[in-house]
Amino acid sequence: MDQSLQQLFKSSEFKEGEFSILIQGDETKNSYELNSNNSRIPASLSKLVVAGMAYHYLEPNFVWTTKLLSLSEPKNEVLKGDLCLYGGGNPSFLTEQAWVLANNFLRSDIRKIEGDLIVDESYFDKDYFSDTRMSKRQLRAYDAPVSGASFNWNSVNIYLKPGKIGEKAKAYTTPELNYVRLNNKVIVHKGRTQVQIKRLVHKDYEEFVLTGKLSHLDLEKVFYRPVQEAGRFTGENFKENLEKLGVSVKGKVRVSSCAAYKNELASVDSKELALVVRDMMKYSNNFLAEILSKTIVREKLGVEGSLDKLAPLVAGYLKEAMNLAKDETYVYRSVSGLSYKNRFSAKQLFNLLNYEKLKFSHFYEFASSLPIGGVDGTLKSRFKGFDSIRFRAKTGLLNNVVSLAGYGQTKTNKNFQFVLIYNGQKSKPVWKVQQFFDKILIDYVQKN
């Protein structure tokens, strides 16, 4: 171990055995290395693999397409049968895109749909919740269902604003639609905000019950919560969009296959893949990690996108990217990293970073997707008081797990890669580990 790194540990409260570290550049004078071959829980550094595979198997300008389809041609502004919304796996089908699709549909001159609005999720499998996630469902946006016909990341934003003390808080949702209803019981008071949210699924709608107290000092509080029935959520929103534009839908929303529907009436493309990867990496978005992984399976194997079929594609990429020896192992159960079962060494992840650095076809997109120290994403508040733009890195966090990996530049403008992983036996404050990581990296920058 380098003497500088050794001295940093001596002056800290941490044990060397809890860390794996590898910091090295092609032109830097020395490297900081500690337990770099030890298998560790990487947390969200697992998303580096998703990003790498996305560029390995797909193109940076790849797009998903959401389509509106019918069995027959319309006549006299009337569509006699059903209208199908084929999701196509689109991860950026948000409020704005849904409106674009609805407006594109207006140019088909259809003003009345006599059948149902069918939502086709078949671009992916029917597994909304992968068994690679935590076993217990969490009512948080990071545990939203993944569908081949998703809308708004299958989540709603719930806003609370204070009114008079002793009265109910004002409550709003985005998107605002009849399928999602609020039962607001939150009272404004002078103390701290303590709000509980419960979701109830009914036959025709999903209800969020809000209880607790909202501080009168809060200008606004926002909570991000997932829906349960993703396809239904997408369809009900789009049905309301059509009706607001003067298109009546006589039937109901239902989820089914539209394999026989060949007449395309309108479509809208997603963001390009490079921008979706950026959204995933900047804010460590678990939903997008699964969307990207299922898309790779769909596009490369020609079957319904399923995480169960991902393993051989992972193996093919990692053998090359990590320069794996014949008997070298890893464990990659969760694509998002929201699991204690994943295992990689710091050396393996370092090799992946080095591999991607040499890929001219997409490295600039790969690097730009990483949070920038002190500027954005999950590194916005890190490296304060230092030239923080010298770091672009992916963060990771679970109970007793803290990680950081990416690219940096020294004071003499020499580039380097780094991987730091902490797997502690006892819970320590996250900020202490993060500060220690930052201290190590700043020390390396200043001495190289």
* 94 & 172 share domain: no
Q: What is the pLDDT of residues 82-128, one digit of tens each?
A: 999 999 999 999 999 999 999 999 999 999 999 999 999 999 999 99
Bridge-based pairing of strands 78-79 and 401-409 is unpaired
* 196 & 212 share domain: yes
* 90 & 146 share domain: no
Q: What is the pLDDT of residues 249-259, one digit of tens each?
A: 999 999 999 99
Q: Give the domain extent around 301.
A: 3-61+274-447
Residue 366 domain flag? yes
* 106 & 16 share domain: no
Q: Which of 200, 226, 252 is the last residue of a domain?
A: 226
In terms of pLDDT, which residue wins out, 131 or 143?
143
* 338 & 378 share domain: yes
Number of folded domains that form the chain:
3
Q: What is the pLDDT of residues 143-178, one digit of tens each?
A: 899 999 999 999 999 999 999 999 999 999 999 999
pLDDT score for 436: 95
Q: Which of 168, 195, 226 is the last residue of a domain?
A: 226
Distance CA 118, CA 208 (A): 25
For the segment 184-196, the average pLDDT, to the nearest whole number, is 96
Tokens of residue 412, six digits = 């003499």
Preceding amide of 42 cis, omega within 30: no
Residue 388 has pLDDT above 70, yes or no: no
Sheet-wide strand order for 248-249: 78-79, 112-113, 248-249
Residue 133 domain flag? no
* 357 & 391 share domain: yes
Residue 401 domain flag? yes
> Is the whole-model pTM more than 0.85?
yes
Residue 189 domain flag? yes
Q: What is the pLDDT of residues 356-369, one digit of tens each?
A: 999 999 999 999 99
* 173 & 290 share domain: no
For the segment 286-296, the average pLDDT, to the nearest whole number, is 97
* 332 & 404 share domain: yes
For the segment 320-333, the average pLDDT, to the nearest whole number, is 93
**Cα 262–59–69 angle (5° rounding)?**
15
Residue 419 domain flag? yes
Question: CATH number, domain at 99?
Answer: 3.50.80.20
Residue 136 domain flag? no
* 297 & 400 share domain: yes
In terms of pLDDT, which residue wins out, 433 or 388?
433
Helices (H) and strands (E) in the chain, counts: 10, 22
Query: Which phi and psi (to 5°) does residue 79 adopt?
Result: -100, 115
* 238 & 318 share domain: no
Residue 338 domain flag? yes
pLDDT score for 438: 95
Please report, rounded to a whole number, the percentage of residues in the chain having pLDDT higher than 70. Answer: 100
* 259 & 148 share domain: no
For the segment 259-288, the average pLDDT, to the nearest whole number, is 96
Residue 428 has pLDDT above 90, yes or no: no
Q: By C-alpha distance, which of 147, 169, 146 is closest to 158?
A: 169
Residue 134 has pLDDT above 80, yes or no: no
* 308 & 350 share domain: yes
Q: How confident is the model at residue 190 (pLDDT cuts 50, 70, 90)?
A: very high
Q: By C-alpha distance, which of 377, 395, 396, 356 is closest to 52?
A: 356
pLDDT score for 29: 75
pLDDT score for 426: 76
Q: Which of 196, 211, 226 is the last residue of a domain?
A: 226
